[in-house]
Chains A and B, each alone.
Chain A
Amino acid sequence: GENVEQHPSTLSVQEGDSAVIKCTYSDSASNYFPWYKQELGKGPQLIIDIRSNVGEKKDQRIAVTLNKTAKHFSLHITETQPEDSAVYFCAASKRALDTGRRALTFGSGTRLQVQP
């Protein structure tokens, strides 16, 4: 099955700096890569996603890049703010051949702390 590795597990940056979180996946058939942010006591919330026909996607201060050949994708947060502090999860999915359904395989998470 799919395996997603995420690094680093913790990341501390100063407010205004950039933060980068990296993930690798094992199944070359995966074609959808979302990123989720989980704040304390809440469920994960989708912040950005990318499909395999796109190399980069940007939404204000966050961007995701995908390298299909190397099977890795990254989340970039610029001009970090204290409210960016949370746990971030990457994930990968593909449509199963037998069921046609998608399920997400998540990375282990990165705890981002933005110091004011």
Chain B
Amino acid sequence: KAGVTQTPRYLIKTRGQQVTLSCSPISGHRSVSWYQQTPGQGLQFLFEYFSETQRNKGNFPGRFSGRQFSNSRSEMNVSTLELGDSALYLCASSTSHRGTNTGELFFGEGSRLTVL
């Protein structure tokens, strides 16, 4: 079974630009979550999507957004990039049961964003 696939793996942007990251979950997993990993803040929850709807959201500004497609693939977008947005962005998929997710996450290898 293929794991979680994230693209691109590395990218460099400048302040003020926007970026879109893509995630393909494990086949059969319908819940996709995004996390930001930085040396200073560790792993922080951004949002979770299930059935093309955002189901849960962390404490990030509105510049961070996402969406999910009917095939469960997900994208996240960061607009008006700031230097502090430099991080590893991790996507994780999980199964869902009776309206909630199990909490067991399977992570991709991440997209490393550098903002200059």
Q: Are A34 and B103 in contact (CB under 8 A)?
A: yes
Q: A57: CB under 8 A from chain B?
A: no
Q: B58: CB under 8 A from chain A?
A: yes
CB-CB contacts below 8 Å: B97-116 with A: 99-110
Q: Are A102 and B107 in contact (CB under 8 A)?
A: no
Q: Are A99 and B56 in contact (CB under 8 A)?
A: yes
A113 to chain B, nearest CB (A): 17
Q: A103: CB under 8 A from chain B?
A: yes
CB-CB contacts below 8 Å: B1-42 with A: 4, 33, 42
Q: Are A46 and B106 in contact (CB under 8 A)?
A: yes
Q: Are A101 and B48 in contact (CB under 8 A)?
A: yes
Given A43-B110, A46-B106, A104-B105: A95 and B43 interface contact (C-beta under 8 Å): no
| Closest Cβ neighbor of B106 among chain A residues | A46
Q: Are A101 and B100 in contact (CB under 8 A)?
A: yes
Chain A residues, Cβ within 8 Å of B92: 43
Q: How far is the CA of A102 from the CA of B90 in the complex (A)?
A: 17
Q: B55: CB under 8 A from chain A?
A: yes
Interface centre among A36, A44, A49, A96, by most chain B C-beta atoms within 10 angstroms, is: A44
Scan B68-89; emit 1 where CB is below 8 A from any A CB, else 0. Answer: 0000000000000000000000
B30 to chain A, nearest CB (A): 13
| Closest Cβ neighbor of A45 among chain B residues | B107
Q: A81: CB under 8 A from chain B?
A: no
Q: A41: CB under 8 A from chain B?
A: yes
Partner of A101, one of B43, B56, B109: B56
| Closest Cβ neighbor of B56 among chain A residues | A101
| Closest Cβ neighbor of A92 among chain B residues | B103
Chain B residues, Cβ within 8 Å of A43: 4, 90, 92, 107-110
7 nearest A-B residue pairs (beta carbon): A43-B107, A106-B43, A101-B56, A102-B103, A103-B45, A32-B103, A101-B55
